[in-house]
Amino acid sequence: MWYRVILFFCLIISSISFGQVTGAYQPAYDLVQIDSLAKVEQGGPPVFSIDPGLIQERLKKLENEIPLNYNIITHQFVEIFAFRKASFTQRMLERKDIYFPLYEKYLKKYGLPDELKYLSLIESGLENKAISNKGAGGLWQFMPYTARGDFGMRVDQYIDERFDAERATDAACQYLKRLHKTFGDWHLALAAYNTGPSNVKRAMRRCGGANDFWGIYACLPAQTRAYVPQFIAITYMMNFHWDHSIQPENWVIDIPKDSILVSGYLNLNTLTRLTGFSLDTLKRLNPHIISHFLPKNSNKVKVHIPTSRFAYFKQNRSLILDSSRVDLTAPDSAEIDTNEIEEPNPIAQRHTYRVKSGETLSRVARKLGLSVSELKRINRIKGSKLKKGQTLVYFKLAKVSKKYSNRSTFKKRKKTSRKKKKTTSKKRRKRR
């Protein structure tokens, strides 16, 4: 009996001392909810493989503009990236040189902390064409409606500019700067990048008006609770990986490239064949181009060409581009009666909606099939509230009647015309 009492008090003392060392915010349920390496003994503190004091000291040295708090949660993720997901850390080290110079360029342009370059590792694992289960895409994981509505990116079946590293990085820097201006705190800005500003504000209200990440930690979605600690942990690992026996082995090398701007239709098979490189290489250099051709409504689309073939392309530019602009999928112009063809020109029609009592921006946006940001932008709404009877404007594509002559009609006409020719020829023979 006394033995059990003594053991109980020893465990309590050890738990208190650990908490004083880490200064951690430790919700009891979190050790189960997040993916963790920590082995938690019943009634005792977690057992770590890396010295807590070492990580804490190094994070202080790394800290610049964004706080790199040490606590039990960040420590757990350090051990995840050091042991269980060491292969992920190694892969990030092998790929970082492709994208980090670009990230650093745009972070400097917008006056943002340089350490934000590590955020993309958590977002996409430096996979340019990464798609989440919710539909977010690219290095910086933009949702389609955010990419289109807030940053003017093209996202359709031909071109997806979320996969354009430069375009996406520029948009991500704008968004992060906007979020930091909104919250005045980098941890909250990162949380908002992950779950959305409205969810962060809701968590702040639920947690009694707390205005820091660790203060609203328990009120955030589980994924977002892990988001900031993962950012801190991967920042640590990218700077101290050598001390944990992780080093790059197979460096990923980017293909040197030059760029041209293209408007209108362009057959990429023809372009690559005439320039002298493969379509696979073009797809690798241009992940934002999804189709094998650029459609007629393309406007100043950036197309990357390998530097090794760019001099040849430049010498024969007119010939290559003129040949690549021939639409091989279109019916032969000789077979088509142009009087019966109308080009489909979708027209955006203006509609209005009157706000009902109790309706919110998100509810109205969902009803109209728009994002909240798009609805606010169109109607120049600065706040987040709507008034009863307020008239909102929105646009939708009108259904335009399209009159096409399909290929079967062309073939029929062609056959009938041949028959006429045959009959006339027979008549001529008889006359002869």
Q: What is the mean pLDDT of residues 236-242?
A: 96
Contact criterion met (CB below 8 Å) for 203 and 220: yes
How is residue 254 annotated by DSSP? Answer: P
More confident residue, 33 or 327: 327
pLDDT grade, residue 45 (50/70/90)? low
What is the distance between the alpha carbons of residues 127 and 129, in angstroms, rounded to a whole number?
Answer: 6
Q: Which two tokens stand for residue 348?
A: 């955006």
HEC string of 211-223? CCCCCCHHHCCHH
Q: Supply the pLDDT for residue 147.
A: 94
What is the distance between the alpha carbons of residues 139 and 120, in angstroms, rounded to a whole number?
Answer: 6
**Neighbour tally for 137: CB within 10 Å:** 23
What is the distance between the alpha carbons of residues 183 and 200, in angstroms, rounded to a whole number?
Answer: 9
Q: Which two tokens stand for residue 89?
A: 């850390």
pLDDT grade, residue 296 (50/70/90)? very high
pTM of this prediction? 0.67
What is the distance between the alpha carbons of residues 419 and 432, in angstroms, rounded to a whole number?
Answer: 20
Percentage of the chain modeled with pLDDT above 90: 60
Asked whether the predicted pLDDT for residue 270 surpasses 90, the reply is: yes
Q: Supply the pLDDT for residue 115.
A: 97
Location of structure tokens 């947690």: 207
> Coil, helix or strand for 346?
coil
Of 100-109, 233-242, 243-252, least confident by mean pLDDT is 243-252
More confident residue, 48 or 403: 48
Q: Supply the pLDDT for residue 46.
A: 63
More confident residue, 374 or 412: 374
Evaluate whether the domain defined by 347-398 bears CATH number 3.30.465.10. Answer: no
Q: What is the mean pLDDT of residues 263-268?
A: 94
Q: What is the mean pLDDT of residues 86-102?
A: 95
pLDDT grade, residue 7 (50/70/90)? very low
Q: Which two tokens stand for residue 203?
A: 């968590």
Of 63-77, 207-221, 389-403, least confident by mean pLDDT is 389-403
DSSP string spanning 273-285? Answer: HHHTS-HHHHHHH
Contact criterion met (CB below 8 Å) for 270 and 326: yes
The domain locations on the chain are 2-70, 257-330, 347-398, 405-431
265, with CB counted inside 10 A (0-12, 13-18, 19+), is: middle
Instruction: Return the CA Rg of the chain.
Output: 30
**Neighbour tally for 29: CB within 10 Å:** 9
DSSP string spanning 186-197? Answer: HHHHHHHHHH-H
User: What contacts 364, CB < 8 A, 6 or more positions away?
Assistant: 353, 355, 375, 386, 392
Q: What is the mean pLDDT of residues 331-336?
A: 39
What is the distance between the alpha carbons of residues 428 and 229, in angstroms, rounded to a whole number?
Answer: 90
Q: Supply the pLDDT for residue 179.
A: 97
Q: What is the mean pLDDT of residues 213-241?
A: 96
Q: What is the mean pLDDT of residues 258-272?
A: 94
Contact criterion met (CB below 8 Å) for 129 and 289: no
